[in-house]
Amino acid sequence: MNDTLPEATQKPTVKKSWSWILPVSALILVFFLSFSSMQDKGLPLHIQFELGHGIKKGDSLKYRGIIIGTVNNVSLSNDLKKVKVDILLKKKAKHIGRKGSLFWIVRPTLGLKGAKGLETIVGARYIAVRPANNSSLECFEFQGLENAPLQEIIEPDGLTLTLYCPQKRSLKPGTGIRYRQITVGVVLNVTLASNASSVEATLWISKKYKHLIRDNSKFWIESGLEVKAGIFSGLDVNFGSPETLIAGGIGFATPNDPGNPVKNQTRFKLNEKAKDSWLEWDPSLSASKK
């Protein structure tokens, strides 16, 4: 009989370590905070302009006067022909990043509604946007406009005319059309005629003033500064309005015996300057009741 008793053996105790939980938790927290921060910052937009007009890092992207983004970087394109502007768009304004949105740099300009962007004379430039209409296509690369879109300038039911002249001279989109030095319209575009025989400018006249245009009206280029010299009269310098001194313009007059009202696309000759007799015309023209 074996009186030897079995001996108990003790297995080594495996201690579970929870020390890894803290660094992993910290890593997850950092990732979450970084992701949330990126989401809060918004979306990157990339816009190319022909000219920078003084835009710089830190300037704003605005819609209806509200800041919806910030310029993150401004640089030249590789071929040095474009200005690249990177914008960080706020998350709440992400609908701006749609195909068809229009961007332009706001700066002091003269137009039909008077001087615009005057706040940028002493303040910073900013970029304005006209959102796309009913577009669901996301887009983050845009070609910026050099001027505000025409929808920001013109109003419905105006009169559209065509002027023709031998040379382009100072004609350009945005040039004001003036009656007695009051701006009543604007040049929409300037192109060659279909047969290349002349330069054609498309004008838009405000509904409020289109009754002033008659089929015998005369148009001329306003340079803003006229200098006359004579042997006996000496030097005579005449200044136009401040607007024409800065941007030039087109003036027009209607005879005392006004002709018939005109329709859209009516063509007029653009004269180099006004005759003295045109400046003496003083017709009484009542606004249309239509």
Alpha helices (H) along the chain: 21-41, 119-122, 242-247, 276-279
Predicted confidence band of residue 244 (pLDDT cuts 50, 70, 90)? very low
With contact defined as beta carbons under 8 Å apart, do 88 and 41 qualify?
Answer: yes
Model confidence at 122: pLDDT above 60:
no
- 164 phi/psi in degrees, rounded to 5: -125, 145
User: Among 160-174, 220-234, 260-274, whose mean pLDDT is lowest?
Assistant: 220-234
With contact defined as beta carbons under 8 Å apart, do 123 and 60 qualify?
Answer: no
Model confidence at 120: pLDDT above 50:
no
Q: Which pLDDT value is given to residue 85?
A: 97
Note the pTM of the prediction, 2 decimals: 0.53
| Placement of tokens 């209806």 in the chain | 64
Q: How many CB atoms lie within 10 A of CB 250?
A: 23
With contact defined as beta carbons under 8 Å apart, do 220 and 250 qualify?
Answer: yes
Model confidence at 107: pLDDT above 60:
yes
Q: Which pLDDT value is given to residue 174?
A: 79
Q: Which pLDDT value is given to residue 14?
A: 55
Q: Which pLDDT value is given to residue 16?
A: 58
With contact defined as beta carbons under 8 Å apart, do 185 and 203 qualify?
Answer: yes
Q: Which pLDDT value is given to residue 157?
A: 82
Model confidence at 119: pLDDT above 80:
no
Model confidence at 279: pLDDT above 90:
yes
| Placement of tokens 């961007």 in the chain | 103
Both tokens assigned to 126? 């900013």
CB under 8 A, 24+ apart: contacts of 235-244? 240/181, 241/178, 241/181, 243/110, 243/176, 243/178, 243/183, 244/176, 244/178, 244/181
- Domain coordinates of the chain in residue numbers? 41-149, 154-279
For the chain, the distance separating the N- and C-terminal CA atoms, rounded to the nearest angstrom, is 131
Angle at 260 between CA 254 and CA 266, to 5 degrees: 85
pLDDT digits (tens, 9 = 90+) for 172-231: 887 889 999 888 988 888 999 888 888 999 999 988 999 999 999 999 998 754 444 344
Average pLDDT, the chain: 79
Q: How many CB atoms lie within 10 A of CB 129?
A: 23
With contact defined as beta carbons under 8 Å apart, do 165 and 175 qualify?
Answer: no
Q: Which pLDDT value is given to residue 236?
A: 42
Q: Which pLDDT value is given to residue 38?
A: 52
- Percent over 90 (pLDDT), the chain: 45
Look at 28 and 210; give whichever has higher pLDDT: 210
Model confidence at 266: pLDDT above 80:
yes
Residues 18 and 40: their CA atoms lie apart, in Å, by 34
Residues 92 and 41: their CA atoms lie apart, in Å, by 10
How far are the Cα atoms of 33, 62, 82, 137 from residue 94, in angstroms, in the given order? 21, 13, 25, 12
Q: How many CB atoms lie within 10 A of CB 246?
A: 13
pLDDT digits (tens, 9 = 90+) for 31-88: 666 555 555 567 899 999 999 988 999 999 999 889 999 999 999 999 999 999 999 9
Model confidence at 247: pLDDT above 60:
no
Q: How many CB atoms lie within 10 A of CB 69?
A: 24
Q: Which pLDDT value is given to residue 4?
A: 63
